[in-house]
A and B are shown apart, each in its own frame.
Chain A
Amino acid sequence: MITTLLIALVVLGGSAGDVFITKGMKQLGEIQTLHPGRLLGIAGRAITNRYFLIGVLFMAISYFSFLGALRLADLSLVLPATSVSFVITTIGARLFLKEKISPSRLAGIVLVCAGVALISIPSQH
């Protein structure tokens, strides 16, 4: 029960973190320079952007939930379970960032999710 809750926190925290970080970066606008000084300035604005910081906070929640889940369950359960975050993040991107998910993109994301699950399940022998 607690394991399920922690895995849910890993997935939802990670997805919320990605959505907020994207919102913050979109607010800064497209990066179009390679000038080191300007890039430093952009980095400074990013780490003081409210959405970006909320995103990092969610990432931290996700990471510590991951560590907590590993204390209660095997990596062989936790890692494949988190592959579903590719789909959850896509739902978040559609709902909150208004991204358009074309059939080709959706098919790709489902394949990635399945492939990551396959890779992370350890071999029996």
Chain B
Amino acid sequence: MKTATVLIVAIVAQAAGDVFLTRGMKSMVSLDASGGGLSESISQVSHIAFQALQSPMIWIGTLLLIVFFALFSAALSWADLSFVLPATAFGYVLNVAAGYYFLNETVSPRRWAGAAIITLGVLFVSRSGARTVEAPGEELLAARGIE
């Protein structure tokens, strides 16, 4: 239950963070320099970076991705990596659904199929139990019974 709650909030934060970052980055103006030289690249990157620092969208998106990473790491303090990582793949499904319902994107049949297969995969993984190894120094767990 705890694992599910933490991971669901993490996945939603990540999907929302991606949307904010995408909107923020797409609203930026790039320099017209198209040379491939090192100095052009550096000036291009610093130009974008300067705009990024001033964009609320980028700040909110970055903050949400930090929330995702904190919750992802927190879950790993008790749950298996081979459980948490595939579970977070459900974020891809959220992205497809959000694109379809909120951004009016057209979603190809192959992307719907991919989303369905990921959902099936996450269901399989979630049936396998979140934890197969004990965190050291957690005698407490044994005392109160492992979920």
Contact = CB atoms under 8 A, between A and B. Distances in A.
B92 to A, nearest CB: 5
Q: Tell me the interface secondary structure of chain B in the complex.
A: helix
Nearest to A14: B85
B125 interface: yes
Interface string A31-64: 1100000000001001000001000000000000
A112 B121 contact: yes
A21 interface: yes
A55 B70 CA distance: 14
Interface of B: 70, 73-74, 76-78, 80-83, 85-86, 89, 92, 96, 108, 110-111, 113-129, 132-133, 135-138, 140-141
Q: How large is the interface on A (under 10, 10 to 19, 20 to 34, 35 or more residues)?
A: 35 or more
Given A115-B116, A115-B121, A25 B138 contact: no
A109 B82 contact: yes
A46 B121 CA distance: 31
B108 A25 contact: no
Given A18-B85, A115-B92, A116-B89, A99 B80 contact: yes
7 contacts: A92-B81, A97-B81, A99-B132, A108-B125, A111-B118, A112-B89, A115-B120
